Every structure is written in structure tokens, then in C-alpha cells.
């Protein structure tokens, strides 16, 4: 929202614009067009991946505070959020950081702070960035990095989103189940039978559906807790080799999140959104965002739609045989997206690095 002013020189929010302006001598859309014309050999281009909820941990951000702009980011975050996000990230308690309303803003800010570290250590990585993608709430950070949204306005939208999703998750006993299956596993049929089981238990309009496509033979299924318990108990029947409940409070990216749609839609209506200056891929359809209205529409739809991350990785790294893969950097807490990339595309993963947010070390090559 425009009410969130930006009194600090937050580099990630405007970094790409300044890079393009310096490179091409033209601001705004002209710079973006010039950048698109500046075709680079694949190995010289870079890709940034922004993690989502679940990657957070107490202590994240500690290794970023020495870099220019990072403390200002956390000071501004405190004004936008109304609480001391930095202290929560550094000291916990873990139970509070785990809450959806807190961990989504925490991951968002930590990821953009990691961009500051990367800019300080390896500025050429950002100068040569050609694409970005974010997992769930990470998509907001990717859009800020790409110049499509202002840092403070995007953070306010994340705040509203997180609080609305927290409230929706508390309304119905629900959760998310990580599943790895054999090639013959039929996830949709398993979900159908789990819903029928819930109906026999007297649950009206039960929810059990795929909420995340991670990598081949790996899905996250979300819905009513009774449905997820049924799937765990009948895992062998559905050719599931491993199941694990995720430490989240609700069935994210399913229709159980419908109460969170309107609050986010309303805040995005009064959020200034620009066309990204680099390619940013949507979780909803795994395609590039085309314009501001497209972004506004799909960010809302994302709340109740499955995250097509496996499909997004194919879109980002699709290239002719024999073409080199770009260097990829995961910016933010955890290395989950790197692990998923390894399963989706081993050749692309060989050029993967992680920007650590806990210790002040060099960018680590995995």
C-alpha cells in the first residue's frame, strides 16, 4: 500500500533498476527493453531463486547485518509490521517464528537481505541476472528484486497475506503432507479416496488435493487432517514410499485458504506494480509474468492454487541440447530449492550456489 513510505535506501527493491540504468543509460521501461536486447551467452547469465515458508530458522539474518542497507531493511520492516522482526529472527522464540504471520515476512526480508550480501560480494551476479523465481511467498521477494514492487509495499502485502492465511488455517483442522511415491503412484486418485473417507466421517466438502509439485515423484498433499491421516495409513496401497507431515499450521494452496483471498486482493489493488525488468516466473502456471495486472491476478490466485515448482524449474532451465546452463543462486534461508533443483535438473544444479543468511561466509558452492 502507498501508505508504507520508504525512507531508507533499500537496495534490493531498486537494485535491478539502477543496474539497468547504469548499463544502458536509460531508466524504467527503456532500460528494461535494452536489457532484454542485451542477449548474453547462457553461462554468463544468472538465475536467482527465493525460498518460501518452512525454510526459516532462529538465527537467520545474523550473517547479513554487516552489509550496507540490511539494518535499514529490518528497521523499515519493524515500522511496517509493528514488531521487531530482527530480534524475532535472531533470538526467537521458535514457536513465534514458526507462526505463519511471522515466518512469511521473516523469509521475505531475509531473502532480500541475502541479495544485499550477494551484491556486496559478487555484484556481477546481479548485473548479469536474467531470471528469478520464488517459492510461494518467495515470489514476492523475486518481484521486488525484479523491480516490479516496492520493498515496503510488498512487505505490507506479505503481512496481510500471512495474517489472513494464519486466520484461515486456524478455522479448520488441516495440514500438509509431503509424499514421495513410486512412478505408478496416482496422487489424484489417492486424494479422491481420502475425501470419500472424510465424507464417511461426516465431514462436509472435505479437502484433499495436491498443493505443491516439487520434483518427479514428489508432491505435497494438503487438506483436512483426517484425509492426510488416511493417506499415511494407506500409503502402501497408493504406492507412496515415504510420507511426512510438514510443520505448518494449515492446508496452504488449497481452497481452504479462500478466506485469505479477499484481504490480499484488496491490498494489491492499492499497491503499485510494474512490469518486471527481468523474467519472473509464476507459481500458478510456471510462465513468465507479462504485465502488472497479470501479477496482481496471479498473486491472489496463488493462495488457493498448487505451486507448480517442478514445472517452473523446467520453464526456467529449458534450453536446446548442448546449451550451457546459467549459474543459479538461492538467496535466503535454507537450501531446499537447491535440493529440489538437483532432482529436477542435475545439469542445472551443478551450477548452483547458496547465499547463506546465518554465518558471514563466502557464497557457498554446493
Distance CA 108, CA 160 (A): 13
- What CA–CA distance (Å, rounded) separates 356 from 142? 17
HSE toward the beta carbon, residue 79, CA cutoff 13 A: 14
Determine which one of 55, 111, 136, 174 is catalytic.
136
As given in the structure block, the three cell numbers for residue 202 are 461426516
The three state secondary structure string of 86-126 is: HHHHHHCCHHHHHCHHHHHHHHHHHHHHHHHHHHHHCHHHH
Q: Give me the phi and psi of 37, to 5 degrees please.
A: -75, -25
Please provide the size of the chain in residues.
Answer: 366
Nearest to 140 by CA among 168, 109, 100: 109
47 half-sphere exposure, CB direction, 13 A CA radius: 25
Residues 304/50/99/10 CA torsion (nearest 10 deg):
-120
> Given phi > 0 = left and psi -120 to 50 = alpha, else beta, which region is 202?
left
In the set 253, 305, 315, 354, the catalytic residue is 253
Q: What are phi and psi of 346, to 5 degrees?
A: -65, -40
| DSSP output for 309-322 | HHHHHHHHH---TT
Active site residue 253: yes
Residues contacting residue 159 through CB under 8 Å, at least 6 positions apart: 80, 81, 101, 105
Distance, in Å, from the CA atom of 20 to the CA atom of 132, rounded to the nearest integer, reads 16
**Cα distance between residue 189 and residue 242, in whole Å:** 17
The catalytic site residues sit at: 136, 253
Amino acid at each position: 500500500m502507498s501508505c508504507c513510505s520508504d525512507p531508507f535506501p533499500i537496495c534490493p527493491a531498486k537494485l535491478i533498476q539502477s543496474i539497468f540504468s547504469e548499463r544502458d543509460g536509460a531508466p524504467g521501461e527503456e532500460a528494461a527493453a535494452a536489457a532484454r536486447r542485451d542477449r548474453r551467452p547462457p553461462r554468463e547469465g544468472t538465475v536467482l531463486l527465493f525460498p518460501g515458508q518452512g525454510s526459516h530458522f532462529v538465527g537467520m539474518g545474523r550473517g547479513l547485518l554487516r552489509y550496507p542497507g540490511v539494518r535499514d531493511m529490518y528497521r523499515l520492516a519493524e515500522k511496517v509490521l509493528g514488531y521487531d522482526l530482527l530480534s524475532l529472527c535472531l533470538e526467537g522464540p521458535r514457536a513465534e517464528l514458526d507462526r505463519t504471520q511471522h515466518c512469511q515476512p521473516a523469509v521475505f526480508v531475509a531473502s532480500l537481505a541475502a541479495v544485499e550480501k550477494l551484491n556486496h560480494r559478487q555484484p556481477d551476479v546481479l548485473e548479469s541476472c536474467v531470471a528469478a523465481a520464488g517459492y510461494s511467498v518467495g515470489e514476492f521477494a523475486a518481484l521486488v528484486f525484479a523491480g516490479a514492487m516496492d520493498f515496503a509495499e510488498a512487505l505490507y502485502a506479505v503481512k496481510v497475506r500471512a495474517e489472513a492465511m494464519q486466520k484461515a488455517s486456524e478455522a479448520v483442522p488441516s495440514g500438509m503432507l509431503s509424499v514421495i511415491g513410486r512412478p505408478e503412484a496416482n496422487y489424484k486418485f489417492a486424494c479422491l479416496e481420502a475425501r470419500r473417507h472424510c465424507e464417511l466421517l461426516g465431514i462436509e466438502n472435505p479437502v484433499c488435493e495436491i498443493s505443491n509439485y516439487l520434483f518427479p515423484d514428489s508432491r505435497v498433499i494438503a487438506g483436512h487432517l483426517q484425509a492426510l491421516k488416511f493417506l499415511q495409513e494407506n500409503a502402501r496401497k497408493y504406492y507412496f514410499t515415504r510420507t511426512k507431515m510438514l510443520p505448518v499450521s494449515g492446508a496452504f494452496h488449497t481452497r481452504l485458504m479462500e478466506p485469505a483471498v479477499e484481504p490480499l486482493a484488496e491490498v494489491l489493488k492499492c499497491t503499485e506494480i510494474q512490469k518486471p525488468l527481468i523474467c519472473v516466473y509464476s507459481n500458478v502456471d510456471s510462465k513468465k509474468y507479462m504485465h502488472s495486472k497479470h501479477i496482481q491476478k496471479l498473486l491472489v490466485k496463488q493462495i488457493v492454487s498448487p505451486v507448480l515448482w517442478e514445472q517452473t524449474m523446467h520453464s526456467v532451465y529449458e534450453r536446446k541440447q548442448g546449451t550451457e546452463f546459467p549459474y543459479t543462486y538461492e538467496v535466503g534461508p535454507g537450501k531446499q530449492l537447491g535440493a529440489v533443483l538437483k532432482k529436477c535438473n542435475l545439469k542445472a544444479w551443478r551450477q548452483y550456489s547458496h547465499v547463506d543468511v546465518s554465518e558471514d561466509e563466502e557464497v557457498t558452492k554446493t
